[in-house]
């Protein structure tokens, strides 16, 4: 497939965009994220759903206050990831939302427990 050459038109736009075409920007795959960042991302995903949030609190024994206070505590973050690992549909959903494989979240939980 030939490469499109962008040449500015008189009005400053590029010919490629004027034709209704789009560009795909390729980037190198990112390295595995920090376990704490993954856990925080997973927590954010969990809290988007009231039913998931309620289930997290009831099954982990955490309270909203304890969760807020422990947001930087590796043990609390590991509990969030363990909660996901115990329910495959949530594990897969969170992994998809974060753009990682489910095994990466399980590995992050292990790292946080170490």
- The residue with greater pLDDT, 2 or 85, is 85
Instruction: Name the residue ranges covered by the structural domains of the chain.
Output: 35-113
| In the block, residue with structure tokens 């004027």 | 18
Of residues 48, 26, 32, 41, the one with CA closest to residue 80: 41
Q: How far apart are CA 65 and CA 97, in angstroms?
A: 26
Q: How many CB atoms lie within 10 A of CB 90?
A: 20
CA 72 to chain centre: 17
- The pLDDT of residue 47 is 94
Question: Residue 4: pLDDT band by 50, 70, 90 thresholds?
Answer: very low
Q: What pTM was estimated for this model as a whole?
A: 0.70
106 pLDDT above the threshold of 60: yes
pLDDT tens figures, 41-97 = 999 999 999 999 999 999 999 999 999 999 999 999 999 999 999 999 999 999 999
Task: Give tens-digit pLDDT for 16-32.
Answer: 455 556 655 554 444 45
């Amino acid at each position: 497939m030939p490469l499109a050459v962008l040449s500015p038109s008189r009005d400053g736009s590029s010919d490629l965009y004027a034709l209704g075409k789009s560009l795909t920007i390729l980037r190198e795959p990112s390295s595995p994220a920090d376990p704490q960042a993954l856990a925080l991302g997973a927590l954010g995903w969990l809290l988007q759903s009231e039913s998931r949030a309620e289930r997290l609190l009831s099954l982990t024994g955490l309270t909203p206050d304890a969760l807020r206070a422990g947001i930087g505590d590796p043990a609390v973050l590991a509990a969030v990831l363990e909660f996901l690992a115990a329910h495959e549909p949530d594990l897969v959903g969170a992994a998809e939302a974060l753009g990682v494989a489910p095994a990466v979240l399980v590995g992050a939980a292990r790292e946080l427990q170490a």
